[in-house]
């Protein structure tokens, strides 16, 4: 068991392992997202209140879920890197940030597009979820900006790790304070998702999309971390050997 | 039998280190009073901008007053953050502090306290006057300084973490706002809301409790994060 972890932490091993995993993850993600898209658009019945507009949840919900998930992955990886000085963990944190930021952006964009027919505005400050997603996006920006502005890679890793952990403590506080703020303000919002249980024909595509998006996230993350590892280890001997071999076979 | 050794000099107490750093920072600031007054002027000027931009509609100004004063205070406190470690970093005394036998989180706490006394406290004292200029209800003249005291203290504590992360970076100043402001959102939300509630005659206890709890959490965790960040920035 421990040998497995030790091997995982070694860059060349991880590089090879990730290379084998990525196609499988990507294929499974494509399959699930393909099914979810088709079933979500054509099989699921229109909502009795929202009509066809509800179908955007098939993108919105997985994106919103992954925007939080990616931050957690980033913060946990950053913590592991900081505590055990594990370089691979820092590479994972560095790779998770842009992917998470894109998912956050996607969740915001789809939420806003959905809000146009439902609320009549592109943006509703009274909706706590949308507002806290926006703050989450700023947290991602801050993390990436800090990382980009430090030239020394070791310092960049550890400084941004501290920031990620401070942010992780704050994310739940921000989320709940935004929620209380709007409940102080105007009572429950228009959208209540804890309404009647969702119908199976609507639910299965959603589940497929959530799992598919998660696999997509894993595939994207692993590809990014591979690139990151390759860049960081560019002076290492195994990379030189890799380049020579691939150059020979091509 | 052990030979008679001369007695060791007594170790400095924790409190001595804390007070020494605090005293030093305050003395340094007193030699350049401009640095202390700048955030205060900034606070006053920003609060003046809004009525000029929006127009002298008393009803509207009363409604936006709590939020405007809070945002102005946040920005003013942010203004002085990047200099918390800058002077010490440039003349090398920061490295001496890092080498000190005193626990670094405690030293950091003293520096944070000095920052708050110099940048937060003046805002707290002036805020009722600004609130008056927005014609806020008498109850919010009390709520304003109380919430600002807790809020600016939390902001100093969080902000110093970011200041420690960016110390010595060329582009540190603009970055600081991007790092600190999203983290300060809960403080802003509860601070400004509580003042608004007070203005409309509601109780302020819930908001003040929340700000107090947030401040306690920040006092407990932030000095350790700052200490870790300082060590990372100075190796």
pLDDT (average), residues B45-71: 87
Of A185 and B17, the structure prediction assigns the larger pLDDT to B17
Of A100 and B54, the structure prediction assigns the larger pLDDT to A100
Partner-chain residue, chosen from A146, A155, A184, that has the shortest CB–CB distance to B179: A146
**Nearest Cα residue to B194 out of B222, B214, B167:** B214
**A161 touches A147 (CB < 8 A):** no
Structure confidence at residue A170 (pLDDT): 87
Of A2 and B191, the structure prediction assigns the larger pLDDT to B191
- Enumerate the β-bridge partners of residue A47: A51
Alpha-carbon distance of A134 to B111, in angstroms, equals: 32
Does residue A155 sit at the B interface (CB-CB below 8 Å)? Answer: yes
pLDDT in tens, A218-241: 999 999 999 988 888 888 888 888
- What are the chain B neighbours of A141 within 8 Å (beta carbons)? 178
Nearest CA distance, B115 vs chain A (angstrom): 20
ipTM of the assembly?
0.85
**Nearest Cα residue to A89 out of A5, A30, A29:** A5
Q: Which position has the token pair 């706490």?
A: B109
Alpha-carbon distance of B168 to B86, in angstroms, equals: 7
* Interchain CB distance below 8 Å, B235 and A146: no
pLDDT of A201 over the 80 cut: no
Does residue A134 sit at the B interface (CB-CB below 8 Å)? Answer: no
Q: How many residues does chain A have?
A: 250
* Interchain CB distance below 8 Å, A135 and B182: yes
Partner-chain residue, chosen from B158, B169, B190, that has the shortest CB–CB distance to A150: B169
The CA angle B180-B181-B185, to the nearest 5 degrees, is: 120
Nearest CA distance, A71 vs chain B (angstrom): 15
pLDDT of A96 over the 60 cut: yes
Does residue A203 sit at the B interface (CB-CB below 8 Å)? Answer: no
pLDDT in tens, A153-189: 889 999 999 999 999 988 888 888 777 766 544 444 4
Alpha-carbon distance of A218 to A206, in angstroms, equals: 18
Structure confidence at residue A171 (pLDDT): 86
Structure confidence at residue B219 (pLDDT): 94
Structure confidence at residue B3 (pLDDT): 72
Coil, strand or helix: which one is B5? coil
pLDDT of B7 over the 90 cut: no
pLDDT (average), residues B5-11: 79
Angle in degrees, 0-180, between the axes of helices A153-186 and A87-119, rounded to the nearest 10: 30
pLDDT (average), residues B10-31: 86
Nearest CA distance, B122 vs chain A (angstrom): 27
Nearest CA distance, A188 vs chain B (angstrom): 17
pLDDT of A248 over the 70 cut: no
Burial tier of B203 (Cβ tally within 10 Å: 0-12, 13-18, 19+): exposed
- Side-chain half-sphere CA neighbours of A244 within 13 A: 6
* Interchain CB distance below 8 Å, A138 and B175: no
* Interchain CB distance below 8 Å, B182 and A158: no
Structure confidence at residue B233 (pLDDT): 87
Range in A40-49, A200-209, B109-118 with the lowest mean pLDDT? A40-49
**B180 touches B78 (CB < 8 A):** yes
**Nearest Cα residue to B210 out of B163, B161, B142, B151:** B151
pLDDT of B128 over the 60 cut: yes
pLDDT (average), residues B120-145: 88
Alpha-carbon distance of B14 to A249, in angstroms, equals: 66
Alpha-carbon distance of B34 to B40, in angstroms, equals: 10
**Nearest Cα residue to A191 out of A27, A77, A11, A57:** A57
* Interchain CB distance below 8 Å, A170 and B186: yes
Structure confidence at residue A186 (pLDDT): 42
Structure confidence at residue B226 (pLDDT): 94
A183, containing H or E segment: helix A153-186
Share above pLDDT 70 across residues of chain A, in percent, rounded to a whole number: 88
Alpha-carbon distance of A23 to A29, in angstroms, equals: 10
DSSP A189: -
Q: How many residues does chain B have?
A: 235
Does residue B104 sit at the A interface (CB-CB below 8 Å)? Answer: no
pLDDT of A249 over the 60 cut: no
Does residue B75 sit at the A interface (CB-CB below 8 Å)? Answer: no
pLDDT (average), residues A193-201: 59
pLDDT of A2 over the 70 cut: no
pLDDT of A192 over the 70 cut: no
DSSP A127: -
Partner-chain residue, chosen from B186, B210, B228, that has the shortest CB–CB distance to A174: B186
**Nearest Cα residue to B189 out of A189, A107, A143, A184:** A184
pLDDT of A47 over the 80 cut: no
Alpha-carbon distance of B140 to B148, in angstroms, equals: 11
* Interchain CB distance below 8 Å, A184 and B197: yes
Structure confidence at residue A44 (pLDDT): 79
Structure confidence at residue A182 (pLDDT): 64
Structure confidence at residue B155 (pLDDT): 93
Residue B171: C-alpha distances to residues A237, B162, B176, B183 (Å): 35, 13, 9, 20
The structure's pTM equals 0.87
Number of H helices, E strands in chain A: 8, 0
pLDDT of A196 over the 60 cut: no
Q: Which of the four pLDDT bands, split at 50, 70 and 90, describes residue A1?
A: low
- Give the chain A residue whose CA is nearest to the CA of B213: A173
Q: Which position has the token pair 């203004």?
A: B79
- What are the chain A neighbours of B165 within 8 Å (beta carbons)? 146, 159, 162-163
Share above pLDDT 90 across residues of chain A, in percent, rounded to a whole number: 35
A78, containing H or E segment: helix A57-84
B203 Cβ partners below 8 Å, 6+ apart?
B197
The DSSP string of B46-93 is HHHHHHHHH-S-HHHHHHHHHHHHHHHHHHHHHHTGGGTTHHHHHHSH
Partner-chain residue, chosen from A138, A141, A162, that has the shortest CB–CB distance to B165: A162
* Interchain CB distance below 8 Å, A177 and B185: yes
pLDDT of A63 over the 70 cut: yes
Does residue B197 sit at the A interface (CB-CB below 8 Å)? Answer: yes
Alpha-carbon distance of B51 to B85, in angstroms, equals: 35
Burial tier of B20 (Cβ tally within 10 Å: 0-12, 13-18, 19+): middle
Range in A177-181, B6-10, B216-220 with the lowest mean pLDDT? A177-181
Q: Which of the four pLDDT bands, split at 50, 70 and 90, describes residue A92?
A: very high
Does residue B19 sit at the A interface (CB-CB below 8 Å)? Answer: no
Of B231 and A48, the structure prediction assigns the larger pLDDT to B231
* Interchain CB distance below 8 Å, A149 and B210: no
Does residue B188 sit at the A interface (CB-CB below 8 Å)? Answer: no
Structure confidence at residue A176 (pLDDT): 81
Of B227 and A120, the structure prediction assigns the larger pLDDT to B227
Of B201 and B53, the structure prediction assigns the larger pLDDT to B53
Does residue B182 sit at the A interface (CB-CB below 8 Å)? Answer: yes
B108 Cβ partners below 8 Å, 6+ apart?
B160, B164, B223, B226, B227, B230
Q: Which of the four pLDDT bands, split at 50, 70 and 90, describes residue A57?
A: confident
């Amino acid at each position: 068991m421990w040998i497995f972890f030790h091997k995982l932490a070694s860059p060349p091993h991880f590089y090879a392992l990730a290379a084998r995993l990525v196609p499988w993850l990507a294929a499974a993600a494509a399959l699930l997202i393909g099914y979810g898209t088709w079933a979500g658009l054509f099989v699921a019945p229109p909502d009795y209140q929202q009509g066809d507009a509800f179908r955007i949840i098939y993108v919105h919900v997985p994106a919103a879920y992954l925007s939080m998930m990616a931050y957690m992955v980033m913060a946990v990886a950053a913590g592991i890197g900081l505590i055990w000085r594990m370089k691979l963990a820092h590479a994972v944190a560095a790779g998770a940030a842009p992917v998470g930021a894109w998912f956050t952006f996607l969740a915001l964009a789809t939420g806003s597009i959905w809000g146009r027919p439902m609320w009549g505005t592109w943006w509703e400050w009274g909706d706590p979820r949308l507002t806290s997603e926006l703050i989450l996006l700023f947290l991602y920006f801050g993390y990436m900006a800090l990382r980009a502005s430090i030239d020394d890679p070791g310092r960049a890793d550890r400084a941004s790790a501290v920031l990620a952990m401070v942010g992780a403590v704050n994310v739940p506080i921000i989320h709940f304070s935004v929620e209380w703020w709007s409940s102080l303000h105007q009572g429950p919002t228009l959208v209540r998702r804890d309404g009647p249980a969702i119908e199976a024909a609507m639910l299965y595509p959603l589940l497929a999309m959530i799992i598919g998006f998660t696999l997509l996230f894993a595939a994207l993350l692993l590809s990014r971390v591979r690139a990151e590892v390759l860049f960081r280890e560019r002076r290492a001997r195994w990379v030189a050997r890799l380049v020579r071999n691939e150059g020979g076979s091509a | 039998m052990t030979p008679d050794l001369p007695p060791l000099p007594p170790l400095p107490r924790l409190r001595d280190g804390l007070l020494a750093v605090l005293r030093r920072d305050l003395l340094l600031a007193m030699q350049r009073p401009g640095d202390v007054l700048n955030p205060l002027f900034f606070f006053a000027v920003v609060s003046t901008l809004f009525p000029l931009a929006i127009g002298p509609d008393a009803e509207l100004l009363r409604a936006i007053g709590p939020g405007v004063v809070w945002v102005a205070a946040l920005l003013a406190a942010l203004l002085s953050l990047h200099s918390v470690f800058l002077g010490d970093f440039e003349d090398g005394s920061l490295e001496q502090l890092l080498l000190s036998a005193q626990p670094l989180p405690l030293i950091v706490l003293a520096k944070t306290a000095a920052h708050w006394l110099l940048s937060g406290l003046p805002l707290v004292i002036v805020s009722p006057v600004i609130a008056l200029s927005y014609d806020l209800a008498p109850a919010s003249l009390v709520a304003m300084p109380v919430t600002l005291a807790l809020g600016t203290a939390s902001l100093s504590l969080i902000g110093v973490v970011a200041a420690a992360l960016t110390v010595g970076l060329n582009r540190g100043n603009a970055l600081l706002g991007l790092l600190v402001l999203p983290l300060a959102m809960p403080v802003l939300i509860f601070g400004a809301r509580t003042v608004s509630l007070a203005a409309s005659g509601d109780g302020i206890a819930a908001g003040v409790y929340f700000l107090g709890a947030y401040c306690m959490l920040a006092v407990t965790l932030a000095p350790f994060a700052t200490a870790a960040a300082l060590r990372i920035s100075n190796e």
